[in-house]
């Protein structure tokens, strides 16, 4: 029997300054679908605004042929330039995964539920698209 809890993560080499990634996800997330349209088709604010700690945003994404929605409550740490995305609703919860930036901690309902590897790939694609955009700018 495979373990039901786990963590998948990846490291992505970036050329642009890390602060650019922090700033776009904190205050200009609405630009991400324009930069990474193959992975992210839209993002909307449901509560709060683009920059406020505790705001709730909804992301429309695609992974391969699958499309989905991920609603998050965001926490910003300006001192460490880190963002925590706490999943509150969306298609990813059909497999009972809890998302965090760059890594995914999860607990499966049963052995038949796959590990959420594809979501790490999704974030990797978005980060690579953003990095290429920042380098060109």
- Going along the chain from its start, the domains and CATH numbers come out as 15-136 (3.30.530.20)
What percent of the chain has pLDDT above 70? Answer: 80
Q: What b/e string do you get for 107-124 counting C-beta neighbours within 10 Å, with b at 16 or more? A: ebeeeebebbeebbebbe
Sheet architecture: strand order including 5-9: 5-9, 103-107, 97-100
Residue that the structure tokens 């088709």 belong to? 41
pTM: 0.76
* 75 Rama class: left (phi>0) / alpha (psi -120 to 50) / beta: beta
All residues at 6 or more sequence positions from 15 whose CB lies less than 8 Å from its CB, including other chains: 131, 134, 135
What are the angstrom distances between the C-alpha of 35 and each of 43, 52, 83?
12, 22, 19
- Position 25 scores a pLDDT of 92
**E strand map for 48-137:** 56-63, 66-77, 82-90, 97-100, 103-107
Q: What share of the chain is helix, strand, coil (3-state, %, to 5)?
A: 30, 35, 30
Which one has a higher pLDDT value, 27 or 106?
Answer: 27
Residue 47 has pLDDT above 90, yes or no: yes
The separation between CA 80 and the C-alpha centre of its own chain, rounded to angstroms, equals 18
Determine the pLDDT at residue 101: 42
């Amino acid at each position: 029997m495979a373990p039901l809890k786990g963590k998948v993560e990846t490291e992505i080499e970036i050329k642009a300054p890390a602060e650019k990634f922090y700033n776009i996800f904190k205050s200009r997330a609405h630009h991400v679908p324009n930069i990474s349209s193959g992975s992210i088709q839209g993002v909307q604010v449901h509560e709060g605004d683009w920059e406020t700690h505790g705001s709730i945003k909804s992301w429309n994404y695609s992974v391969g042929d699958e499309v989905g929605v991920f609603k998050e409550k965001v926490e910003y740490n300006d001192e460490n330039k880190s963002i925590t995305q706490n999943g509150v609703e969306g298609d990813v919860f059909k497999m009972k995964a809890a998302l965090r930036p760059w890594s995914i901690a999860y607990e499966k309902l049963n052995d038949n539920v796959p590990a959420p590897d594809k979501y790490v790939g999704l974030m990797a694609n978005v980060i690579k698209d953003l990095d290429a955009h920042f380098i060109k700018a």
